[in-house]
Structure 1
Amino acid sequence: MNKPIRRLAVFAMALFGVLLLNVTYIQAIQAEDLQTHPFNARQFADRMVQPRGPIIIGGEKVAYSKKIKNDDKYQRHYENGQNYGHVTGAFTPIGATGLEKADNALLNGSDDRLVVRNFLDMLTGKEQQGASLELTIQPKAQQAAIDGLGATGKRGAAVALDPTTGAVLASASLPSYDPSDISSVTNDKERAANFERLEKDESRPMVNRAFSETYFPGSTFKIVTAAAALENGASPDSTQEAPDELTLPQGGTLPNAGGGSCNGGSPDTLSHSIEMSCNTSMANWAISLGEGKMEEQAKKFGFNTPGLKIPTDIATSKYPTGLNGSQLGQTGIGQFDVRATPLQMAMVAGAVANGGDVMKPYLVEEAKAPDLSRIEKGGGETLTSAVSSGTADSLKEMMIGVTEGADASGPNAKIPGMQVAGKTGTAETGEGANSHNWFISFAPADDPQVAVAVVVENGNASGGEVAAPIAKSMMEAVITQ
């Protein structure tokens, strides 16, 4: 064999070796990742021939599988999809979202904890069945959130938590959509047309604003700023300069809402600054504390902590770093580049209500096998300790002042017969755009059962006007459940 032929043979053998290595890598190492990759539609299409477990809210199945007549496939059905679509997500022949995606292995029965059950079903000739998911959502609280947001005629989101356990009691996002519109197994053309319509809708109805959208939190973030001050030696009676308009260190000015005064231009206490939502004093608190202490406190509440799953993915709420003095002052009132999900701000309120501890939010109360044996129980996990119990008590009293004080900015959240702790927020969104309107709260203040966050996009009002009444109705729905 001459030299060129030998070289060609060696090269061909080398290519063959590389091919074998690649095939081995794909089949042995990458197999699981490829199987569960979001672009691999087969993982969902293959499951159309098996019944998925139901998703249950308030004892009622809001998502379930039903066999198609004269077919070997199962159709996923959604009850009251407009109310629960963002919570359940959608299971379709080409993919899944929400809980349908996050807990796909439980719902389709492939979870390792169902192996024994599946083996017994195979021996007896039964179809493999998925687990059922019983959610933490309370229908009355969910309906109160949907109705309240709907009455504004605006886009927005609302979340209610049990502050002692982290259970998500309500999670609403408007505009909404019905997963049934995009889950048809038998009509591909209709399903595709509906999906395209929803995708092109400028209002983005398929986006879960409660979990996946981040907003400027505005003055609701002043609770984080106040927490940082209290944790670093301040008291509710400590003061900062509170001019009608603050000249920022690196240039620019910061006025109070509506150009008003906080304390006649005199230094204002931390407590009163929260009660009437003073911008200039709270900006001064952030500047005096410094970026490090502000970022540390925000992180303790859950900001800058990626990877939160409940089990659906949650967008990361962010407190910016690398700030100059002017930017730092703006972050003290929840502006500049501070971003938060409604869930995150409900966690802030929940931490104050829970004596300083942030509980990890969760959506699934129980997962049960087809024989109703419990596979999984949710709740009770502390995510972080945000503040001391003493600081939490001080913040609670300040937040009661927001609804009851002489200069209260959120009296529309008051509930007869009990004290409500709250904080308003009006977040500027850019020149020429209407502000986002926020309210966070918990009640009863002396024995908290529910913590709430509400945001109304471009409400063109104050948080106390448009968001506080929604929060009130949600809290009432939980307390009177």
Structure 2
Amino acid sequence: MNVPIRRLATVVLAMVLVLMGATTYHQFFQADKLNNDGRNVRTLYRAYGVFRGPIVVDGKSVALSTPVDDPFKFQRKYTDGSLYAAVTGYYSLVFAPTMIEASENSALNGTADELWMQRLRQLVTGEQQQGASVELTLDAKAQEAAAKALGDQKGAVVAIEPKTGKILALYSSPSYDPNQLAGHDTAKVNKNWQKLLNDDGSPLTNRAIAGDTYPPGSTFKLVTSAAALESGDYTPDTVIAAPHRLKYPGSSKELKNFADEVCSSSGKMTLDAALEMSCNTAFAGLGVKVGNDAMVEQAKKFGFDTPLSIPMTVTQSHFPPTTDDAELMRQSIGQGDDRVTPLQIAMVSAAIANGGKQMAPYLVDTVRDSSLRVVSKTSPSTLRTSVSEHTADELKSMMEDVVRSGTGVAAQIPGVTVAGKTGTAENTPGQPPHAWFTGFAPADDPKVAVAVIVEHGGQQGAEGTGGATAAPIAKAVMEAVLNG
């Protein structure tokens, strides 16, 4: 009897050890994986059972959690949904969160390391777990002005405070209502999602920082000007070639100015005058003289081809190196393979406005726990020196001339000196060009730098230009900031 009993005991002991090992493995080593498995509905109940903190703009909650009578306990609500969708994103039962809802998720749901004191207090007192409030840098009036001025045209607006990097406005059009994706009726949420996906306007695309990047057109002439001035071989008064048309090397094809206009009857003009009237042939030739290496380096100094988060990840803008002078001609006027986000163009203007120092752009100003104690606050930081202070002053003066008497007169603000640059960028063959404007104000003490793109000329279509279409939008946003 002893032998069979020993064998049975050994088998039972082995089974207990296996059971204990399996339990330990799943409860400890596999815990995170199981908790985060999308099929684990308890994870959803737990996540939605927490009072998610609000997202705040100018003291007003633009995203908040409200109690509901269902197993999820709280419903995410967006009070000005379409106005802030490009910033807040959405928090959904069905789809992964986006934008601030994603990048600040740990703060909003209360699990961030900085909130350990709050969690301890709630554990001791038996309070319900709460997330932190996330206060944004946005200026509500500037955001509203951007949305109103852009209207139903496709495009985007970004505004930055040059001295700090605070993002004052970030709007993408057409927009959408995040409430459509935040509901607890999953069938309805899926239906809304498909409708948004099938919308010809692509409202889910954040045109300000992501999605398809754009050719910058003549706004890139600021980078070309900067490269020339930084070389030490040019000043705003340097006379450069500005022919009616410019032949591409090794080709019978010619580069033309906008509307085939003549920049100068003499075929020459100063660098300042060339920027003022946005002469293509002058800047195409200038880019070749400055050279590919200097152009690539200057673009990088403004932030091209460099990772960036605000805290959402921003699609990198691109200025590709080339050994082909014909391609360099196109790229030097913002065509060819140049690609940018509106945020990048706003950063170029902001760096010039800030004496050549490019500040890190950011959207999150302050995070507060449920007792309103500040747990984190963003401090302004310098990303890089884009140009010297002397070059920045020269560029600023040249941009003032653009708005005073050049292509950007529609951006003029009474009693305020505005600096700017227009752009009209060819894109899809057979489609009207994109309309661009970037600039800052007041020029002598910049409070706001802005970039505007209106796809395919907006309502003006083929007649749309940066000066006629985008500049008035930029003006409205700058005025909103300056008027408080």
The two structures have a TM-score, normalised by structure 2, of: 0.90
**1:213-224 to 2 correspondences below 5 Å:** 213=211, 214-224=213-223
- Other-structure match for 1:159: 158
- Other-structure match for 1:475: 478
Q: Residue 60 of structure 2 aligns to which amino acid in structure 1?
A: E
- Other-structure match for 2:52: 52
- Other-structure match for 2:305: 304
The Cα of 1:250 is off from its aligned counterpart by 3.9
**1:31-42 to 2 correspondences below 5 Å:** none
- Other-structure match for 2:341: 341
The Cα of 1:373 is off from its aligned counterpart by 1.1
The Cα of 1:280 is off from its aligned counterpart by 0.4
Q: Is the 8 A contact 2:216 2:339 kept in 1?
A: yes
1:421-449: CA deviation from partner (whole Å, max 9, x where unpaired): 00000000032111000000100001100
- Other-structure match for 1:65: 65
Q: Residue 276 of structure 1 aligns to which amino acid in structure 2?
A: M
- C-alpha distance in 2 between matches for 1:160 and 1:65: 28
- C-alpha distance in 2 between matches for 1:41 and 1:395: 57
2:317 aligned with 1:317: yes
Q: Residue 396 of structure 2 aligns to which amino acid in structure 1?
A: K
- C-alpha distance in 1 between matches for 2:196 and 2:479: 33
- C-alpha distance in 2 between matches for 1:228 and 1:62: 42
- C-alpha distance in 1 between matches for 2:37 and 2:63: 23
Q: Residue 293 of structure 2 aligns to which amino acid in structure 1?
A: G
Distance change in 2, residues 1:164/1:71 (3 Å): same
- C-alpha distance in 2 between matches for 1:37 and 1:343: 35
The Cα of 1:24 is off from its aligned counterpart by 8.0
1:144-168: CA deviation from partner (whole Å, max 9, x where unpaired): 1001110xx4200001100000001
**1:2-151 to 2 correspondences below 5 Å:** 46-69=46-69, 71-94=71-94, 95-150=96-151
- Other-structure match for 2:272: 271
2:228 aligned with 1:225: no
1:409 to 407, 410, 418: 407
Q: Tell me, which stretches of 5 or more residues in structure 1 are unaligned?
A: 1-19
Q: Residue 155 of structure 1 aligns to which amino acid in structure 2?
A: K
- Number of residues paired by the alignment? 453
- Other-structure match for 2:11: none
Larger radius of gyration: 2
Q: Is the 8 A contact 2:244 2:267 kept in 1?
A: no
Q: Is the 8 A contact 2:45 2:72 kept in 1?
A: no
Deviates more, 1:202-211 or 1:345-354: 202-211
Superposed structure 1 runs of 4+ greater than 4 Å apart: 23-28, 30-45
Question: Identity, % of aligned pairs?
Answer: 45
The Cα of 1:264 is off from its aligned counterpart by 1.4
Deviates more, 1:200-209 or 1:353-362: 200-209
1:119-154: CA deviation from partner (whole Å, max 9, x where unpaired): 22012111111110111111110111001110xx42
- Other-structure match for 2:437: 439
Q: Residue 368 of structure 2 aligns to which amino acid in structure 1?
A: K
- C-alpha distance in 2 between matches for 1:40 and 1:358: 45
Q: Residue 231 of structure 1 aligns to which amino acid in structure 2?
A: E
- C-alpha distance in 1 between matches for 2:37 and 2:149: 38
Across the aligned residues of Structure 1 and Structure 2, the Cα RMSD in angstroms comes to 2.2
Give the secondary-structure state (helix, strand or coil) at the position aligned to 1:84.
helix
Distance change in 2, residues 1:39/1:171 (3 Å): farther
Distance change in 2, residues 1:282/1:33 (3 Å): farther
Distance change in 2, residues 1:260/1:44 (3 Å): farther
Q: Is the 8 A contact 1:44 1:93 kept in 2?
A: yes
The Cα of 1:189 is off from its aligned counterpart by 1.2
Give the secondary-structure state (helix, strand or coil) at the position aligned to 1:429.
coil
**1:307-386 to 2 correspondences below 5 Å:** 308-386=308-386
The Cα of 1:253 is off from its aligned counterpart by 1.6
- Other-structure match for 2:16: none
Q: Tell me, which stretches of 5 or more residues in structure 2 are unaligned?
A: 1-20
1:198-229: CA deviation from partner (whole Å, max 9, x where unpaired): 01112110111111131000000000000000
